Amino acid sequence: MATVTTTTTPPARRSLTFLRAGLAAQTLAIFYQATTAGLLLSTSYGETLHSVGARVMYGASMVYLLAAVLAWRPGGGPARPILYATGFLVLASVQVVLGVTHHPALHVPLGVLMFGLSLLDLGRSLTAGARGAR
């Protein structure tokens, strides 16, 4: 009797790597935003750095969603990361609106929540990869 073993194909591995890279970029961009928020309050150039960081963070959220779709459909991965990425993009949109309308009482806690959720998702993604490698 023959046993069948399955291995991850290189395209699937590449799509999962792209997904993790997109998630890591999003997490780093949100952390950068927290750093520049402090500069926003204490320096003259903080507003510029925070504004640029907001655009980068929003773009990283879009890249994460794109990576999740590509890992799912052509890569054969799970669809759950698409829900996470869509949720992050919605939260990022709300965050941008709150920042533009100057509502720090909601903007700051939402930023902290987004960083925590992004960090948890990154940890889940990396530990799922470690479990799959065993």
- Token readout for 57 is 């963070």
* pLDDT tens, the chain, 134 aa long: 566 555 555 666 777 888 999 999 999 999 999 999 999 889 999 999 999 999 999 999 999 999 999 988 887 788 899 999 999 999 999 999 999 999 999 999 999 999 999 999 999 988 976 665 54
Residue 48: inside a domain:
yes
What is the span of the domain harbouring residue 43? 11-133
Query: What number of helices (H) and strands (E) belong to the chain?
Result: 4, 0
Residue 2: inside a domain:
no
- Token readout for 59 is 């773009």
Residue 43: inside a domain:
yes
What pTM, to 2 d.p., does this model score? Answer: 0.83
Count of the separate structural domains present in the chain: 1
| Strand locations in the chain (E) | none
Residue 78: inside a domain:
yes
Residue 85: inside a domain:
yes
Residue 5: inside a domain:
no
CA 94 – CA 107 distance, rounded (Å): 9
